[in-house]
Amino acid sequence: MASLSSLPKSISESPCSAIMGSLFDTSFVRQNLSIPGSGFRYAPLKIKGRPCMETKVAPGTLQTTDFSDSVLFDVPILSGSEVMERLKANRENIKGKQLFLAMYSSIFGGITTDPATMVIPMDDHMVHRGHGVFDTAAIMDGYLYELEQHINRFLRSASMAKISLPFDRETIRSILIQTVSASKCRQGSLRYWLSAGPGDFQLSPSGCQQPALYAIVIQDQSPPNWKGVKVFSSSIPIKPPQFAIMKSVNYLPNVLSKMEAEKDGGYAAIWLDDDGYVAEGPNMNVAFVTKEKELLMPSFDKILSGCTARRVLALAEELVKEGKLSGIQVRNVTVEEGKTASEMMLIGSGVLVRPVLQWDEHLIGNGKEGPVAEALLNLILEDMKNGPTAVRVSVPQ
């Protein structure tokens, strides 16, 4: 057991100046309470009562530090309409690259196109316990790409996460299409979530009144990026298969793995499964082309069954017919096979098909974007633009 002296210092034991320094600094208040450019003004920080005293804590006693007697933040208490006004001002000041065009929420039972109102309840079990699942679909030229395949996975994820459906499949599908229609988006993506819903802040979802459905349409007109990237082996552990095969909102390992790769100039970090075989990236699948010109993809039993990867497997048959590939295999792939492949690529609805030129210190093939990755990207793009109705759902505008 850790001794009391080795534990991090409690607030009451910390040097008074460090805490009070930040509290007295009015820029702290401005950063935390003001909305740049909104015109809202705040009175300076008010301090009342006695000066901060350093308190010693007797071993084995519980300590609490009550600042309410010494410091008073000038936090405004707002009416609903004032909150709305501030949410709008806040949105207008976010200079993000992405435009959110429409949101559906089963909580308010409709669609909004005002980004300031695209919010979800704090007591939603997805927010405070991660009890939610999600999925996506690309919007290309006003069509939803692979919507049915993504909805099927969405519903499988919901069943694995024991989230019951607020509506039947047809209604969910119709809500998603209507949300895209209201957005008038022609290029971008649709993202949607099912959660256990709002209710209370308990661990058990038994207090959640009813499951919730949310969807948002994001405009993205950037062309697909074909430039080859570098990847690293992830030091962040992969999720156990039970969680890796469902698309839950628990993406912390994925986020940390992406950040780890970016820190070293990489695009993504690659996970191996618990038997040491190549698994997947944080939001994409991987594939290789062997020296014998075979397309090789890790099997999907312990990773997310990627809709794009599965579509690539079907479209790649064309390349076999043309003699550009000698065959297609979905099986366990060793790291040795992966690193000595003549091509490696990342595959997903976000990246589409992105060549990998280097994995850790190993150059893949000749270190240049390869012909099979290029052909597969072109096949996917063509499929998105002119594919069969099984993969393209028209959105009424």
Ligand X SMILES: Cc1ncc(COP(=O)(O)O)c(C=O)c1O
Minimum separation from the CB atom of position 12 to ligand X (A)? 44
Q: Does 217 bind ligand X (CB under 6 A)?
A: no
Among 188, 298, 338, 348, contact with ligand X (rule: CB under 6 A)? 348
- Residues, the chain, total? 397
Binding range to ligand X, per CB under 6 A, among 64-72, 174-182, 210-218, 279-287? 279-287
Number of Cβ atoms within 10 Å of the Cβ of 166: 16
Strand partners, 219: 99, 188
Minimum separation from the CB atom of position 14 to ligand X (A)? 41
- Count of residues that bind ligand X according to CB under 6 A: 12
Token couple for 361: 């210190």
Compare residues 211 and 306 and give the one whose CB is closer to ligand X: 306
Minimum separation from the CB atom of position 284 to ligand X (A)? 5
Minimum separation from the CB atom of position 386 to ligand X (A)? 20
* 280-319 positions binding ligand X, by CB under 6 A: 280, 283-285, 304, 306-309
Minimum separation from the CB atom of position 242 to ligand X (A)? 14
Compare residues 149 and 179 and give the one whose CB is closer to ligand X: 149
Binding range to ligand X, per CB under 6 A, among 216-224, 277-285, 358-366, 388-396? 277-285
Q: Does 345 bind ligand X (CB under 6 A)?
A: no
Minimum separation from the CB atom of position 136 to ligand X (A)? 6
Q: Does 349 bind ligand X (CB under 6 A)?
A: yes
Compare residues 195 and 283 and give the one whose CB is closer to ligand X: 283
Give the active site residue among 46, 95, 97, 247: 247
* 237-266 positions binding ligand X, by CB under 6 A: 254
Compare residues 106 and 285 and give the one whose CB is closer to ligand X: 285
Minimum separation from the CB atom of position 312 to ligand X (A)? 9
Token couple for 345: 């690529």
Compare residues 205 and 306 and give the one whose CB is closer to ligand X: 306
Q: Does 291 qualify as catalytic in the annotation?
A: no
**Rounded distance, CA 111 to CA 213, Å?**
12
Q: For the window 103-132, what string marks contact with ligand X as x by the rule CB under 6 A?
A: ------------------------------
Which residues does the annotation mark as catalytic?
A: 247
Residues that bind ligand X (CB under 6 A): 254, 280, 283-285, 304, 306-309, 348-349
